[in-house]
Amino acid sequence: MNWKLPAICVALIAGFGLAAMAVNPANGQEETLAGAGSPERTLPLSRADLQLSFAPVVRSAAPAVVNVYSRRVVADQNPFAGDPMFERFFGRQAPRQREVQSLGSGVIVDGAGLIVTNNHVVAGAQELRVVLYDRRELEAEILLADERTDLAVLRVVTDEPLPVLPFDLSGSAEVGDLVLAIGNPFGVGQTVTSGIVSALARTDVGITDYAFFIQTDAAINPGNSGGALVNMNGELLGINTAIFSRSGGSQGIGFAIPAEMVRSVVQAATQGGELVRPWLGARLQPVTSDIALSMGFDRPRGALVADVYPGGPADRARLRQGDVILSVDGAEVNNEAAVRFRFATRAIGDEAVVRVMRNGEERNLTVTAAAPPGDREGERVVLEGRNPFQGAEVVELSPAFNEANGMDPFTDGLIVTRVQRRSAAEFFGFRPGDRVLSVNQRAVSSLREIQRELARNDDAREWPVEIERRGERFARTLRL
């Protein structure tokens, strides 16, 4: 069945605007954020219980939540720029520059001045200011900005002590727990709203590459981005990031990035500023109802191993094609996104116990987290010579490059990353993102192979080529 939500969108909640995107409805499956042991919950037993206040929690947590202001200059290009007729009458028009300001929130997580916020709050900022709870204003610098998790780590310098909000890494959060959202909605100043944990492990939201959100009905509005979602112990449960909304304001469906992911990004910022995520080295797919039935499950659960990368962490742990991953370190997983989240929050070298179902039996495998092989930046080469690829910059794919660029780690071959103007590659319509599959009816998967084929046929007039663009394959014969 195709679901349609024509008027509902997910919006990032920085105060400078609402970057909206259509999404699919969430899958409705619930997972705990970590282990099993949970503190005992109680319901109000008397009128006095109902008159209890959140004030002690607010007094503890609010001082560590700050306002983040960013400024950047953007150039507006005239839509007629470059048109010969327009330039004949009006001359060449220089782009007009204008200043764009945005606001958001942040959370102090380290007494050394480390502040966590959302990447979309500070992206492109040329100036950053942080206003503390006591109204002190400090300049901030970006230590690490990660678009794929939509998290950024800032640093401020001050001689005075800073309040810190500790992480809740217990994994004991449950649907129905009381929470507070603290931030700076619409720039009105620090605001506290209350609600409950509405859902855990929301993965089909379409906001970040590592989607595994805490959902809450605490009111979250533009300006709350980067603010704190706090539990009743005054601990950081998550970073408020986005909302579902018809109007752009709060409608009781907000999303926060869990503290486990936040902590992993902060650790990377303090250890050199380079975020290298571990990978499993396995391609996963959903467990459908038919697959669940064939494996003797009473319901779809886990993630099916469709392929294993030779020599990768999964291969070394003897994970096999056809295994179903049920849990990671005791935390149940019900889809690929949940497995990716569990490994993305590990440090390189950490060990994780992966429970799998194989041939009707459950067993534990120990997987050692490792960085994907290859060069994250990739070796880039501009192709030259008398051929259709002249002027195209290509890079040889590897798991490391693919992971850093949000691509399938298993994809190999060559990809076009840039096309020079007035080049043969531009003339023949090659675009960044094209994957080169074959030249002259010979498969090419490395820089050496494509350079060899181009040199071998340097005097040819006809060039059969095959490329992949946005998942579709095209074969053409190009004539020079």
- Cα 127 vs. chain centroid, distance in angstroms? 24
d(CA 195, CA 43): 15
- Buried b / exposed e over 215-227, threshold 16 CB at 10 Å, is bbbbbbbbbbbbb
110 DSSP β-pair partners: 114
Structure-token pair, residue 410: 């298993």
Active site residues: 120, 150, 225
Task: Name 345's Cβ contacts closer than 8 Å, sequence gap at least 6.
Answer: 260, 261, 263, 264
| Residue 38 annotated as part of some ligand binding site | no
Question: Is 460 in contact with 439 (CB distance < 8 Å)?
Answer: no
To which residue do tokens 């993305």 refer? 344
231 is annotated as contributing to ligand binding = no
Does 119 appear as a known binding residue? no
Tell me, rounded to whole angstroms, the distance of Cα 305 from its chain centroid.
22
Helices (H), 277-362: 289-294, 313-316, 336-344
225 carries a ligand binding annotation: yes
- Annotation-wise, does 106 bind a ligand? no
What is the Cα–Cα distance from 253 to 220, expressed in whole angstroms? 8
The answer to whether 235 and 123 have CB atoms below 8 angstroms apart is no
SS3 state of residue 128? strand
The contacts of residue 115 (CB under 8 Å, 6+ apart) are 66, 68, 106, 107, 108, 109, 130, 140, 153, 154, 155, 156
Annotated binding site for substrate: 120, 150, 223-225
Annotated binding site: 120, 150, 223-225
